[in-house]
Amino acid sequence: MSDFLFARSQMAMSLAFHIVFAALGIGMPLLMAMAEGMYLRTEQPVYLDLCHRWAKGTAILFAVGAVSGTVLSFELGLLWPGFMQHAGAIIGMPFSLEGFAFFTEAIFLGVYLYSGIFVVTANAWMNSPAGFKIVDGQIRDINPIAAMLNPASLHEVVHMTLAAFVATGFMVAAVHAFFLLRDLSNPFHRAALGLALVVACISMPLQILSGDLSARSVARLQPAKLAAMEAHYRTQAGAPLIIGGIPQDQTMTTDYALEIPRGLSFLATHDPNARVAGLEEFPRDQWPNVRVVHWAFDIMVGSGMLMLALTLCADGLWLKYRRLPDNRWLLRGLIAAGPLGFLAIETGWVVTEVGRQPWIIYGVMRTGDAVTPMPGLVVPFVIFTGVYFLLAMVVVLLLRRQFLETRNPVPAQPPEVTHA
């Protein structure tokens, strides 16, 4: 592998590792706030105990996420100095605000949501650059606010925030469903599952709607990415939606694929007869890796559809019996679906980043022009791979201890009120 590929691989690995903790950092404060609210409303100690136990696990996740996030910020400057030289003055504001939110998170954990928003706006700018002009090869007339409020920022922020809620809701539901299978009457796990299902069942349908908004935005802002997502090689009206298959760049066909007539045209424009640009309209050196982007997109959508099906089942059971859906088959399904939210997040970021290639700033700067000239990038790649592996093992061991403590939880006692 070349140093360029090692730099890309290290950045990809760091982002893939960090995004898990970032998503949990966005979703868990919501669950803790809901548990605290239920305790204040019902005065049932189980909700206070639930809030305390979730807080312990979230503290572990936050600590590791802080480390991986710090590493990412250094990597951005060390591995991609060309990018920071051109983009630093434009998107410095969201990174500065993210840093401010990062330190504030140590006091108010819920501010993690805002931190995530600032980072996503910076990524959205890379996909849809705005807030500057290029005059004689130099960046001029910088407007940081316009850069943050770029055309891609709204749909990316909404989509990522909902994805964090979905992934967290399903993962927490899976943990407590596992323990409920052993003891269906356990009040602690019933309360926890109920709150997790509320977050998952509300966020998942909204995520489908935000995905529709994102698809139409990508069709307008990054047509080459959309074409790669759908393995759509040839421009045509009434373009079919291609599911699965093996894209072949040489023949510009997709073998063994399932096609839904006019599906892509409807997805991209809500008009089944609309014209959709194919990859043939773009120079070959501006094509992303079609197979990687297409397969990642299909995995993301497939994971979402499976989770949507489970939320509909849970909704149906709740409407029928008006109590917590604790059907054993549903609980088994929730356990199996626990990782799907994070699988969808990971593959979604693959679509976002690989689908933008060969650009680091879409239409402005190529990734190859931004990488550091420093040789020997295999060394930091191997070192950081080992560091992330050790961090992952530490997290697993600490969370395992937390999970074991939830087998027979002792309800927390509410604080005593002293009257004068």
For residue 75, being part of any structural domain is answered with yes
- Please tell me the predicted confidence (pLDDT) of residue 197: 93
For residue 344, being part of any structural domain is answered with yes
For residue 391, being part of any structural domain is answered with yes
Distances in Å between the Cα of 17 and the Cα atoms of 87, 322, 391 are 24, 39, 10
Closest CA to 21 of 167, 123, 121, 158: 167
DSSP type of residue 350: H
For residue 382, being part of any structural domain is answered with yes
Please give the residue range of the domain that contains residue 66.
3-221+288-405
Q: What SS3 state is found at 246? A: strand
pTM of the entire predicted model: 0.86
Is the separation of the CB atoms in 294 and 230 below 8 Å?
Answer: yes
d(CA 11, CA 321): 48
Distance of CA 231 to the CA centre of its chain: 22
For residue 114, being part of any structural domain is answered with yes
User: 402 is written with which tokens?
Assistant: 């937390």
What total number of domains does the chain contain?
A: 1
For residue 361, being part of any structural domain is answered with yes
Q: Indicate the angle between helix axes 112-127 and 153-180, nearest 10 degrees.
A: 130
One digit per residue, the tens of pLDDT, for the chain of length 420 reads 677 888 888 888 888 888 888 888 888 888 888 888 888 888 888 888 888 888 888 878 877 877 777 777 777 777 877 777 766 666 656 655 655 555 555 555 555 555 667 778 888 888 888 888 888 777 788 888 888 888 988 889 899 999 999 999 999 999 889 888 888 888 888 888 989 999 999 999 999 999 999 989 999 999 999 999 999 999 999 899 999 999 999 999 999 989 999 999 998 888 999 999 999 999 999 999 999 999 999 999 999 999 999 999 998 888 888 887 778 888 999 999 999 999 999 999 999 999 998 988 888 888 888 888 878 888 888 888 888 888 888 888 887 777 666 555 545 444 444 443
For residue 95, being part of any structural domain is answered with yes
What is the sign of the dihedral through the CA atoms of 10, 12, 13 and 19?
A: positive
d(CA 13, CA 405): 32
d(CA 88, CA 105): 24
Q: Which long-range contacts (CB under 8 A, 24 or more apart) does 113-116 make?
A: 113/26, 113/29, 113/161, 115/22, 115/25, 116/22, 116/25, 116/26, 116/160, 116/161, 116/164
For residue 68, being part of any structural domain is answered with yes
d(CA 255, CA 260): 15
Closest CA to 147 of 131, 166, 163: 131
Q: Phi, psi at residue 60, to the nearest 5°?
A: -65, -50
